[in-house]
Structures are given as C-alpha cells and as structure tokens.
Structure 1
Amino acid sequence: MLLLYNLGLRIYVFLIYIASFFNNKAKLWLKGRSNIQYQKFDKSAWFHFASLGEFEQGLPVLAGFRSAHSGTAIVITFFSPSGYEIRKNTPLADAVYYLPLDTAANARHFIDAIQPTIAVFTKYEYWYHYFYELNQKNVPLFVISGIFRPNQVFFKWYGDLYRRMLGFVTHFFVQDENSKNLLQNIHITNVSVSGDTRFDRVWANAQAPKPFPLIEEFTKGSKVFIAGSTWPEDEELLVQLIKTHPDWKFVIAPHEIKEDKISKLISLLPSNSAMRYSDVSNLKSQISDLKIIVIDNIGMLSSLYQYGQVAYIGGGFGVGIHNILEAAAFGLPAIFGPNYKKFKEARDLVSLELAVSINNAAELKNTFSYLTNDDRLKSISQKIKDYVKENTGATGMILEYLDNY
C-alpha cells in the first residue's frame, strides 16, 4: 500500500508539471518547492496548513501559541500557493515554506532542519512520511479543528495505510461528536471534541472589524447585500437579483480577481451602476450614488460583512461553499448553492432556519424576499450571532492542552 501511495504522489507531481504550462497556480506550486534552503533551528513549533482557509482557521491557536511561547521559533508550511503566496510574510512565523513533497527523504531532511518539539496540523492534510518521521523522533503531533466523514478513506476497507497515519497523531481536537465516534469505531480514542477554532477567529473579528471608510460612505443609510467569494455560476444568479431590487445596494467580492474575471462581471451588471473598489477613491461624484461595488483585491471580505444585512456565500454550485462564519459573526443570514453538506456550520444554520440553500434564480429571489422582511431579519440576525458566540472556546481548550507539551 505504501508503494502505491508513493507512486500516487509522483503521478500527482507529474500532472502538476503538465498543468504548470498553462496554469499559474500549478507553476507556483512547483517553483515554490524547487531548491528550498531551510533555516536551521535548535528547536521550533511547526504549524502546517493546507491553504489560506486552514491558516485562517488555525490562526487563533497560532497567535495564542506565539504569545504564550515567544521564545520558541515558529515554522509554518503550506501545501497550496493560495496560502503561501498570501501569508509568506506573516509576522507570526520565523520561517514560512511550501511543504516539500511527502517522501521519506524530504521528511527526514525537513524535520532535521527545523527540529520541531511540537507539530500542529489544521483540519486536513495527512502525510505518511512526515507523520512517521515525527513519530520516530517522539515529536508530539496534534490535529486541530479536525472533521471526519464516513466516506473518507480512513473508514474504508482499503484504508489501512491512512489509518496507520492517524495512529501517529498524539491527540485529535475534532469539531463534533460524529467525528469522535467515527475515530473511536476504528479504535482511536485520543480524541477531544473542542469545536471549530474558526468560531473564535470570526467572533473576535466581528468585535473589532477593520473599517473601510469608502464602503461605509457607499452603504450609509441603505440596505446592503454582501456577496462573498463568488464564482461565475453564483454571479449569473446575482445579476438577475440585482436588476429586480434597485432599492438595495450590493457589494460583490469575487473569489477570483483576475482582470478578465472582474471585467466580465462588471459587463454583466446594470450599466453605470457598478464600479471596482480600486476605482472608487477616484470617483468625482458622490459614492452614495453608486449601486454596486465589486471588490478587486484580497483581504477585505471578513470585515466587509459589517456593512450588510444579508449575505450570499459563493462556491455552492461548485465543490463547496466558502466561509459562511465570517458573515454569521455579524448576524447576517446567508444564502448559498446546494453543495454545502461538507460544512457542519452550514448544516447547522440551515436546520435552524438561519441560512438557506438555493438551486436557481427563482429560489434566490424568493429567499431574498423572505429573509428581508424587517421583523424577521432582526430576529434571525440575533439568533445567528448567538449561534456563533455559543460555539466559541475551542482555541482556549487546545492551547491549554498544548501547554502540557
């Protein structure tokens, strides 16, 4: 099985190489892993994140650890360019790298260089050789905000190698009882239900969000719909909604902000009613006269929700929705496409009737009308905030446990 695992990784790299000729993300993935010179440490704490979303999820624990253990060097690794390229200069780390390909030699070389005394992986990412090497060197390994589902390879008859990986983990902090039960069914009992650290992250952000004066001026005195991390499939529906609700203002933050993507979106919107955020500061007339602002940069979305009443979360017509909790922390009821079942918080909010999944433009229109009833919106908003607040606390629990190591 290990032979097949190693072969699979090499096939994956070959496919990335082919893709790199026409895909910039694949090109960055390869370039970032070539000729890496690792800084050597006498000891360090190693935090690994698959991508930017996992970084944001693990950030409360990372920041808390940094504060409590300022004398310990912190090394961060990312699997994906979307995490590394945006957070490679984070002040929370002494060194940031792409995670080298999971081979036995790479694992030994990397771990010998950084000399970790603790390793923390957030939510996903299980790499056999890295886990094995940490285990051989008696380095405690923790998985935080873990989430498990019955259809994962760990629980299949052919998942023996992946179950062995789980056996190298010192302790799991999982999001829910279902994940704990699944692990216990395969005889893994070193598990605590801590919840999801993202709740701590978004709640803290909502208490002191970053202000955006231009957006504040644009939204002043208006009802505002915030659409976050949208894809073209989402935007096609939103364009129809915008045309039928001229009394609302809309802020759209696309997931991809390449020039061609932004230009196409602008072209679909009602003429002379939309503007890119980067151009708003040059607007000669009153910003309040605009109806739509399209965000063409990264880093604003988590605080943009403070200016809205209702949110649309993109990705639900693709592989899955993006971060719904950023909007929920501000009390915004969320609308999203049908692919949300992988996300516990989305399932929770739908079951509580505090969020709605839609399949088409007609359902979006009806849901929007339902949610924007003033009395209903006020009641829902408070319930959503209560849901987020009640689920905070994972960070403190995890940090207290890590302090023992």
Structure 2
Amino acid sequence: MIARYIYTLIFYLAIPLVMIRLFYRALKSPAYWPRIPERFGVTPSPMLHNSIWVHAVSVGETIAAVPLIKQLQQRYPESSVVITTMTPTGSARVSALLGDSVFHVYSPYDLPVAINAFLKRIQPKLLIIMETELWPNTIYACSQRSIPVVLANARLSEKSAAGYQRFGPLTQPMLGALSKVVAQSQADADRFLALGLNSAQIQVSGSIKFDISISETLQDQSRRLKDHWTGKGKKLIWIAASTREGEDATILRAFEQLAERWPNLLLLLVPRHPERFKQVAELSRRAGFNTMLRSSADTLSEQTQVIIGDTMGELLLFYGCADIAFVGGSLVDTGGHNMLEAAAWGLPIITGESNFNFAEISQLLQANSALVTVNDSESLAEQVGLFIDSPEHRSETGDRAKAVIASNRGSLDRLLDAINEFM
C-alpha cells in the first residue's frame, strides 16, 4: 500500500513533465492535440453501464484484440465494448478495424483522479488488459469496485520480469488483485509465478495472435495494390515493416547492395511511428533513391525504388503486397515486433536478433525453418538476395510460416472460456 502511495505521489509530481512531453509529441504528431483530455479521464462518451473495457497499448495488441472483441460483441450483445489505446497508431487500427462498433478513447493515465473519472463514465463490469500493460492504480481502483481484471494473451519477457522484480512491494499487491492471467506460454506463466502470482490465478492458452484471419476483401485490396505497384508482376516487393530509429539506415544500405543486382526490386519501408515518416523519406532520398510516399498523389513510375508506408492502419494490407518481409524493432534493442502478420500472408520472414518480446513465437518460427535472423546490412542483403534468387525457396519458407499459424490456432476459444467465468 505504501509503495503505491509513493508511486502515485511521484506520478503527480511528474505531471508538469508529462504535459511538456504531451505538447512536444503533439507538435510532431498533431493527432495528439484534441485528445489530450482523454489522458486525464475526460471523455466524450455517453454514460455507459456494464460495459466491457479492453485495453490494448498499441498496434500489435490492438490487432490481436480485434478477433477477441468481435467474439465478445457476439456473445454479450447487451454490453458495450470500450477499447483504450496509448498511441495514435493503435487508435488508427481501432478505427480501421472496428469503426463505430466500439467506443474508443486513449487510456487515462494511472492517476486516481483520472482513473476514477473514467470508471465512473464507462462503468465496466470487466477489464481485459492485453498482454502486459499493468498499472497499479488502475488495477487497485477496479478491485475496490469489484470489477474483475483479466490479463489476456499475457506475455512477460525476462527483461520485463526483472524490471517488475525490482519493484516487488508495488508489483506483488498489483498481481494479487488480478482476477486471472491467461498466459501465452508456460515460460511466461513461470515468470509471473516467480513474481508472486498465485498459481490458481493463471492458465496457459497460447497466443491469440495465431488466430489472425485475413478477409477476402483485404486479399482483393492487396492484389490490386500489388498489381499497381509492380506493373502486374514485373517487380518484387521487399517490405521492411515497423522499423525503429536506427534501423532505416541499415535497411537502406542493404537495399543499395540489392538494387545494383536487381534494379526491379521495390522497397516498401514502413516506420513504426508516424512522427518519423517524413524523416525516413528524407533519409531515403539522401541515400539517392527515387522515393514515393504512399499517401502522396504522385504516380508510381518505372524509376520509383522506395515507397514509404506513411499511412495509418495499412500494415496488414502492405504485407499482402510483399514477396519478402523484414520485421523491424529487431536490429535495435527494442525486442522486435509481431511476425505473425507476415506469416499469415505466407511470406518468408527476416528479423534482427532482438526478439525478446516475441521469444516463443520467434523460436517456433525458427524451429520450423520459417524465420531467418540477421545482424547487419550485409547479412540482411544476403538473405533477401537468397529469397529473390530462388522463388522455390521463397515459396517454401512462406508456406512453412503459414503452416505455423494454422497449427497453433485455438487460443482465442480458450481465452474466451476463461473470460466467461467473470461475465
């Protein structure tokens, strides 16, 4: 209790710095401006009652949550679904994939005044937190109101577990207030147990990210866009997706080596965060590449070499246009991003060596010869070149990735059964 009070006091004292950071981010990404009040629990929502609150931090968690949310809407039509995210990219995915079928706002900060105002507004009967977004005051406020809290599709890397362990007096009461933890793997479950979670609170279901589905509409959209970009198959597309700062220069150096041998190769470069779109486009131009923005009205020409994916909510569409995928956040020490979207399209997948956020998925893909790891521009160019050189190798590797998806489905049903205990 004392640890949570100290944490709360520090958070309140940090509010001026938080506001400066918000204003700074809003200058770089104007989408932040009109929604700053949501961070403090001030929402435009009507008063709700017995809603289901689903919290997903950003893009990956949001995409994973969509099949779950659709099932919740079918099973419990009397309950409105409220989904909160923390980033503009996550928000864009909610709008693109769920539209007006849910009420969406940014998650309030973990301050009692903000959380209490938000809970009063939406009156949830259940909070479902995707993966590992644990906030002491939010969980405490729910427990005080007898609102069950389910940690769904839960994962906990060794690095994150070590961080929580350092704050044991804060972590243990928070974990004790959780109603259920539905973990992706036994390794994740073991880390939660080592932090003090009661074994009766946890079960292993597998990752619901394996339950990804690609609609026929999206498949048709991808085919049309790919035909447009490649002149109906005259070019190959290498996608470098969800790249982080520090990776783009490496990718462009690799592309420079590849373009000398395969001038018809297109690089589709998709930065993770929207505030970096223009920066990455300029980096590509300075490297000497004919560069086009996806959002621009410019027509793709024979000379176009790099397309910057500078739109929100289209990554799954972009994967459908690609022939080879590199998944970012893995050449820098950020732990990687979700590889299963590329796998669902049957793409051969390359990543860097930093994949601790998706350790089990990475190991599973590697064990099935569906994932290749690299560590610099030379090894990246070499692996992409091998896939370009051999359509058979490309196809077989992609098929193995798709087979991993198919053989690991079913986690969503197990998660829904666990949630049903609290409905």
Alignment TM-score, normalising by the size of structure 1? 0.87
Per mean C-alpha deviation after superposition, the further-off stretch among 320-329 and 250-259 is 250-259
Identity %: 21
Contact map agreement 2:42 2:118 (CA 8 A) in 1? no
What letter is aligned with 2:373?
A: S
Deviation of 1:123 (Å): 0.6
User: Does structure 1 residue 168 correspond to structure 2 residue 177?
Assistant: yes
Structure-2 separation of matches of 1:266 and 1:231? 15
What letter is aligned with 1:36?
A: V
Taking a change above 3 Å as real, the CA distance of residues 40 and 309 of structure 1, as seen in their structure-2 partners, is: same
2:344 to 304, 324, 329: 329
User: Does structure 1 residue 381 correspond to structure 2 residue 395?
Assistant: no
Contact map agreement 2:369 2:400 (CA 8 A) in 1? no
Q: What are the equivalent positions in structure 2 for 1:210-229 lying under 5 Å apart?
A: 211-212=221-222, 213-219=224-230, 220-221=232-233, 222-229=235-242
Taking a change above 3 Å as real, the CA distance of residues 79 and 307 of structure 1, as seen in their structure-2 partners, is: closer
The aligned counterpart of 1:180 is 189
User: Does structure 1 residue 7 correspond to structure 2 residue 23?
Assistant: no
Contact map agreement 2:344 2:401 (CA 8 A) in 1? yes
What letter is aligned with 2:279?
A: K
What letter is aligned with 1:249?
A: L
1:46 to 32, 53, 56: 53
User: Does structure 1 residue 236 correspond to structure 2 residue 252?
Assistant: no
Structure-2 separation of matches of 1:200 and 1:207? 18
Output one character per residue of 1:295-339: Cα deviation in whole Å (capped at 9) or x when no partner: 231222212222322111222233232332111111212222332
Question: How many residues are aligned here?
Answer: 400
1:97 to 75, 83, 105: 105
Contact map agreement 1:229 1:313 (CA 8 A) in 2? yes
The aligned counterpart of 2:416 is 399
Taking a change above 3 Å as real, the CA distance of residues 11 and 153 of structure 1, as seen in their structure-2 partners, is: farther
Deviation of 1:71 (Å): 1.8
User: Does structure 1 residue 61 correspond to structure 2 residue 76?
Assistant: no
Per mean C-alpha deviation after superposition, the further-off stretch among 216-225 and 189-198 is 216-225
Output the aligned Cα RMSD: 2.9
Taking a change above 3 Å as real, the CA distance of residues 210 and 173 of structure 1, as seen in their structure-2 partners, is: farther
Structure-1 separation of matches of 2:417 and 2:64? 18
Taking a change above 3 Å as real, the CA distance of residues 79 and 234 of structure 1, as seen in their structure-2 partners, is: closer
Contact map agreement 2:343 2:402 (CA 8 A) in 1? yes
Contact map agreement 1:331 1:385 (CA 8 A) in 2? yes
* Unaligned runs of at least 5 residues, structure 2: none
Alignment TM-score, normalising by the size of structure 2? 0.83
User: Does structure 1 residue 347 correspond to structure 2 residue 347?
Assistant: no
The aligned counterpart of 1:198 is 209
Q: What are the equivalent positions in structure 2 for 1:215-364 lying under 5 Å apart?
A: 215-219=226-230, 220-221=232-233, 222-231=235-244, 233-243=246-256, 244=260, 245-257=262-274, 260-268=278-286, 270-271=288-289, 273-279=290-296, 282=299, 290-318=304-332, 319-344=334-359, 345-364=361-380
Taking a change above 3 Å as real, the CA distance of residues 150 and 278 of structure 1, as seen in their structure-2 partners, is: closer
* Unaligned runs of at least 5 residues, structure 1: none
Q: Name the SS of the counterpart of 1:120 in structure 2.
A: strand
Taking a change above 3 Å as real, the CA distance of residues 62 and 21 of structure 1, as seen in their structure-2 partners, is: closer
